[in-house]
């Protein structure tokens, strides 16, 4: 049946959208560095970085001033931990705001030199919205041997990580070091850094920190299992294929399957919940 335009619902729809537009929170990209740094979103992300930093320290994945955490704020900015601070002791004022070239644009602390590594990951893969780098002992032990942990043994590891990459050694903090991960960033969310540690990326800081925990637990369990002296049982190949189907649905990368489609930032809604609400209201009005 032919659809007739309903001028009343169109007008109401436009009015609702105008109200939403007036009330909407500006995107971080629309704000000056200092305003972006003071935004509610930045405050929430700082709190998330601080929580993750404390977990890394409590789980003994970082020593001294080791490790660093960052996350993207819009497309222009990155919040990151500063240099020379224990991840146990982070305060909101310690978290710096950087641009995509690594220049600090808000905050008083010096950024970590390993932000270069984080920025290479963000530039290479738009799915990466948060990066956690640390030195968990069991995973780092693998990096000393020049081997990545084997796959096919624990389902949780297969789902969240799968094959981890191993990047070649370079001097930490340098641009050459940052670039060592580039061949792997699209197909791996977890990369071992030779003779150094591990770096994980995800959609949020919390999830990137989870990947670190999953990696470290897996490496530890594998090494304990090897000491039992019995052959290890592997997950059957058809069950691995089921896991890969699930990973594709979840949007998790895995080098054993085709690369995931690129996310389109230009169509990302400002506030998905608000947009959903507007669509519901307009659709209800159209039915009246």
Least distance to Zn ion, CB of residue 132, Å:
11
Q: Which is nearer to Zn ion, 37 or 189 (CB)?
A: 189
- Whole-angstrom distance, CA of residue 167 vs CA of residue 177: 9
Least distance CB 18 / Zn ion (angstroms): 50
Catalytic residue from among 2, 58, 114, 170: 114
Query: Which of residues 171 and 267 has its CB atom nearest to Zn ion in the complex?
Result: 171
Residue with tokens 């709190």: 47
Contacts of 35 (CB under 8 A, 6+ apart): none
- Site pattern 190..209 for Zn ion (x: CB under 5 A): -------x------------
Q: Is 114 a catalytic site residue?
A: yes
Query: How far apart are CB 114 and Zn ion at their closest, in Å?
Result: 6
CA 265-213-39 angle, 5° bins = 40
Q: Which residues contact 211 (CB under 8 A, 6 or more apart)?
A: 132, 160, 161, 189, 190, 200, 201, 202
Q: Which is nearer to Zn ion, 85 or 151 (CB)?
A: 85
Instruction: Name the closest residue to Zn ion (Cβ).
Output: 197
Q: What minimum distance in Å lies between the beta carbon of 172 and Zn ion?
A: 5
What does residue 202 show for φ and ψ, rounded to 5 degrees?
Answer: -160, -170
Angle separating helix axes 205-228 and 40-58, nearest 10 degrees: 20
Q: At which residue do the structure tokens 């220049």 appear?
A: 103
The candidate with the shortest Cα–Cα distance to 59, out of 139, 151, 114, is 139
Quote the CA–CA distance of 166 and 181 in Å, as a whole number: 8
| Distance from the Cα of residue 84 to its chain's centroid | 23
Smallest distance from the beta carbon of 177 to Zn ion, in angstroms?
9
Of the pair 89, 242, the CB lying nearest Zn ion is at 89
Task: Specify the residue, 188 or 247, whose C-beta has the smaller distance to Zn ion.
Answer: 188
Binding site for Zn ion (CB under 5 A): 197
Residues with a catalytic annotation lie at 114
């Amino acid at each position: 049946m032919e659809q007739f335009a309903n001028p009343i619902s169109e007008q109401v729809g436009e009015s609702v959208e105008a109200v939403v537009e007036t009330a909407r929170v500006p995107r971080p990209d629309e704000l000056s560095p200092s305003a972006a740094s003071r935004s509610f979103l930045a405050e929430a992300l700082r709190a998330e970085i601080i929580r993750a930093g404390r977990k890394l320290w409590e789980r003994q994945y970082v020593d001294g001033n080791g490790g660093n955490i960052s996350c993207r704020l819009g497309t222009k900015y990155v919040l990151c931990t500063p240099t020379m601070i224990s991840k146990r002791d982070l305060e909101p004022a310690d978290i710096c705001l950087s641009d995509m070239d690594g220049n600090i644009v808000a905050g008083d602390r010096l950024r970590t030199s390993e932000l270069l590594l984080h920025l290479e990951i963000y530039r290479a893969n738009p799915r990466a919205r948060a990066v956690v780098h640390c030195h968990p002992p069991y995973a780092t032990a693998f990096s000393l041997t020049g081997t990545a942990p084997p796959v096919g043994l624990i389902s949780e590891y297969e789902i969240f990580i799968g094959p981890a990459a191993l990047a070649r050694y370079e001097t930490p903090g340098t641009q050459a070091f940052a670039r060592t991960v580039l061949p792997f960033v699209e197909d791996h969310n977890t990369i071992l850094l030779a003779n150094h540690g591990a770096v994980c990326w995800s959609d949020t800081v919390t999830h990137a920190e989870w990947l670190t925990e999953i990696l470290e637990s897996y490496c530890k369990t594998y090494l304990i299992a090897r000491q039992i002296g019995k052959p290890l049982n592997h997950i059957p190949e058809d069950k691995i294929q089921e896991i890969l189907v699930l990973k594709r649905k979840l949007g998790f990368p895995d080098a054993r399957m085709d690369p995931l489609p690129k996310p389109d930032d230009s169509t990302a809604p400002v506030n998905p919940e608000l947009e959903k609400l507007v669509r519901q209201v307009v659709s209800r009005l159209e039915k009246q």
